[in-house]
A and B are shown apart, each in its own frame.
Chain A
C-alpha cells in the first residue's frame, strides 16, 4: 500500500485481483465436492464397520461445509487505498484535528520491551498537543511507573515539545505584559472616572464642564464596546479577571504538555477485575483520558510514526453539501499485525498472512472486519455508547454490578477474547468496521511451544465462549454475512474432532485391517481426485501471494493442534471456569515434548504401521496392496502434518 495516492476523494476500495478467478474455481470446487459426497453417502459406506465409517463420513461432511463457508467468507475481499490525514482533500483544518489517546496495555512484560513501545508511541507523527500516550499497567509495577516518569521528562525535553513550550511561554509573557499594562492604567482610569463624576456636578467650572462632556462621550463609547458593564470600574475589574483566567489556562497548558502518563487501576478485593478488558475500561472511564479516538497497542507492538495519520481518515466523511468533515459510522479500523522476531522457517506457525490478508479483507468486504486487540483505532463514542447498553442490561439483572461499572462499561469482558466479542457487539449495534492492510506496527511472537500453545488455547477458548454466550447466528442486529464470518471462525475450531478421525483412520487400518470405506478402487479415485484437485486449486487462488511454505505451515498447525481445539471446546461447554492467561513475551526455556502426547502417540503409531507394512512387503506377504499403499500414503501425509509441532517442542533459539 503506497502513501502517495492520487484519486478523487480520500479513500477508495476495490475487489482484490484474481477474485473472479477464485470465485470461478470455488464454484466448481463446491460442485465437485458435493458430487463426491453424494457418492460417499450412497456407495461407499463400510456397513461392517459403521463405528468407523460413519465418523469419517461426518468428518468429511464437516470439511465440506467448512469449505463452503471458507469460500463464501472470501467471496468479496476488499483492497483499500487511503490518503494520509494531512493529505486529505479538501484539507482537514488543523485546529479541528481530534485528540487521540494511545493505550499501551501491559502486565509484567519486561521493562525494555514496554519502553521501546512507549518511545515509539511518543514519536508518532501527530500534533503533540493532541496526542496522549497512556501506559495501562495491570501489574502495578513501581519500575514501570518510574520508567513512565523518566520517558515523560525526556519527551518534554525533546525539540518538538520544547518548541511548543516556547510558544506557550511567549503567549504567556504577552498576556502577563498586558496584565501589567492594565494594572498601570487602572488607577488613572479610575481617577478619570471619579473626576468625571465631580465635574458633572453643579460646583464645576465651565471649562471643566466642556472637557467633562468630551470625557463623558469617551466613557460612553468604552462602555458601549462592552455592553455588560455599567461603569469603567466594573469593566476594569472584569477585564482583569478574564486576563487572569487566560493566564491560568496558559499555565495549565504548559503542565498539560506532559504527554505520557501512567495508569495502574486499583484492584479492590471482592470485585472481579475482568483482565485486559477491565484494564482498558478503567482507563476509558477514569476521567484521566478524553481522546475522541483510542489506539490500542499491546506492550510489545511497536508503532510506526505514520500509524495515526494513515488510519484516522477512515473515521471522517466529507459532506459536500455542508463543506465540512463529519463523523461517520466507522467504529474501528484494524490494521495488520506483523512480527519482527520470527525465526527462519517459522517453527511455531505464527505468520498470519492468510488471516491478515485474504481473511480480513474478505471480512472487510462484508463489514465484518475483526478487532484483534492491538494495532487498531477505536472511536470512543462508539465503544462507550455500546458498552453502556450492555451495562444497562447487566444492571437490570443485578444492581450490584454498579460497583464494577468502570471495568465493564466499554470493552466486553464476556469472553477471554474480549476483542472479538467487542467487535461483534459494535457490529450488532450498527457500527461499521474497516480493515487496513498496511503494516503500521510490529510485535513479538512467542518463540517457545508452551507460550504458543497458551496463546492458541486462549483464542480457541475465547472464541467458543463467544459462540456459547453470544451466538452470532442468533444475535440481533448482525447481517447475514456478518453472522457467517463470525461463525466461520468458531466452526473452524470443531475441526479438532475431524482431524482426530483423519489421523486415526490409517492407524486403525494398520493395526486391525479395517477400512472405513468399502472400496478404495477406481470408483473412489474417480470421485475423490477431482474434488481434491479442485480443492487445492481453489486454495491456491485464495492464497495467491502468500508463500507456499507459509501455507503449508498453516495447514500443519491447523491439523496438529487438534488436541488443543478439542480441549478448548470441552472446557467451555463443560462450564469450567476459564482464566485469562496472558501470553508470555519472553522465551520460556524448556523442552515441552510432554505437552504433545496425543500428537506423538499418533506419530509413533503411524510410523509403526508404515514399518509393519514395509516388513510385509519385504517378506512378500502383502495383502491387498492397493489399500495398503493408499493408507501408507495417507499416513505419510499425516506424519508430515504432525512433524512441525513436534519439531517445535524441542526447538531452541540460536
Chain B
C-alpha cells in the first residue's frame, strides 16, 4: 500500500488571492482522487501576508476533514517571521525541506 502524496509549490507572493487559488487546487485534489498527504513547499514564496496564512489554515482544515494529512516545508525568511509572529508555527506540522519530508515520512511509512 503506497501513500499518495500531492505536492504544491506556490511561488512569489502568497496573498489572499494566490492563497485562495491554492486552496481551490487542494480542494479539487482532495475531491477528485484519493490523496493521503498534501505537502506545500514554500521555498519559492518570497512574501506571505496574514490573509495568505489564513488560506493555508483553511486548506489544512479541508485536508484534515477528508482524513488526510497536511504538511508544510521550506519555511524561511519573511515567511518564517510571519509564522512566528502569528504563532502559526505551532499550528502546522512542518519539515525543513522536501528531502527532510521524504526521509521522515518514508521512515514512518516503513
Seen from chain A, the residues whose Cβ lies within 8 Å of a Cβ on chain B are: 284-285, 287, 290, 380-381, 384-385, 388-389, 391-393, 395-396, 402-403, 405-406, 409
Determine whether B10 belongs to the interface, using a CB cutoff of 8 Å to chain A: no
Seen from chain B, the residues whose Cβ lies within 8 Å of a Cβ on chain A are: 15-17, 20, 23-24, 49-51, 53-55, 57-58, 60-61, 64-65, 82, 85-88, 90-91
* The one of A388, A393, A402, A403 that contacts B54, using a Cβ cutoff of 8 Å: A388
Whether A290 and B17, one on each chain, are in contact in the complex, defined by CB atoms closer than 8 angstroms, is yes
Beyond A287-B20, A290-B16, is A385–B60 a contact (Cβ under 8 Å)?
A: no
Whether A389 and B87, one on each chain, are in contact in the complex, defined by CB atoms closer than 8 angstroms, is yes
Chain A residues within an 8 Å CB radius of B24? 287
Chain A residues within an 8 Å CB radius of B51? 290, 380-381, 384
Q: Is the interface of A mostly helix, strand, loop or mixed?
A: helix
Whether A396 and B90, one on each chain, are in contact in the complex, defined by CB atoms closer than 8 angstroms, is yes
Chain B residues within an 8 Å CB radius of A287? 16, 20, 23-24, 55, 58
- Nearest Cβ distance between residue A408 and chain B, in whole angstroms? 11
Whether B61 and A403, one on each chain, are in contact in the complex, defined by CB atoms closer than 8 angstroms, is yes
- Nearest Cβ distance between residue B16 and chain A, in whole angstroms? 5
A405 and B91 alpha carbons, distance in the complex (Å): 12
Chain A residues within an 8 Å CB radius of B23? 287
The contact sample of 19 A-B pairs, CB cut-off 8 A, is A285-B54, A287-B16, A287-B20, A287-B23, A287-B24, A287-B55, A290-B16, A380-B50, A384-B51, A384-B54, A385-B85, A388-B86, A388-B87, A389-B86, A396-B90, A402-B64, A403-B61, A405-B58, A406-B61
* The one of A380, A388, A403, A406 that contacts B53, using a Cβ cutoff of 8 Å: A388
Q: Assuming A392-B87, A402-B60, what are 9 further A-B pairs, CB within 8 angstroms? A: A285-B54, A290-B15, A384-B51, A388-B53, A388-B87, A389-B85, A393-B87, A395-B91, A396-B90
Whether B88 and A388, one on each chain, are in contact in the complex, defined by CB atoms closer than 8 angstroms, is yes
Whether A409 and B57, one on each chain, are in contact in the complex, defined by CB atoms closer than 8 angstroms, is yes
The closest CB in chain B to the CB of A383 belongs to: B50
A395 and B92 alpha carbons, distance in the complex (Å): 11
Chain B residues within an 8 Å CB radius of A395? 90-91
Chain B residues within an 8 Å CB radius of A384? 50-51, 53-54
Whether A409 and B54, one on each chain, are in contact in the complex, defined by CB atoms closer than 8 angstroms, is yes
Chain B residues within an 8 Å CB radius of A409? 54, 57
- Nearest Cβ distance between residue A582 and chain B, in whole angstroms? 27
Whether B58 and A285, one on each chain, are in contact in the complex, defined by CB atoms closer than 8 angstroms, is yes
Chain B residues within an 8 Å CB radius of A393? 87
Beyond A402-B64, A403-B61, A406-B58, is A388–B90 a contact (Cβ under 8 Å)?
A: no
A393 and B86 alpha carbons, distance in the complex (Å): 10
Whether B57 and A405, one on each chain, are in contact in the complex, defined by CB atoms closer than 8 angstroms, is yes
Whether A381 and B50, one on each chain, are in contact in the complex, defined by CB atoms closer than 8 angstroms, is yes
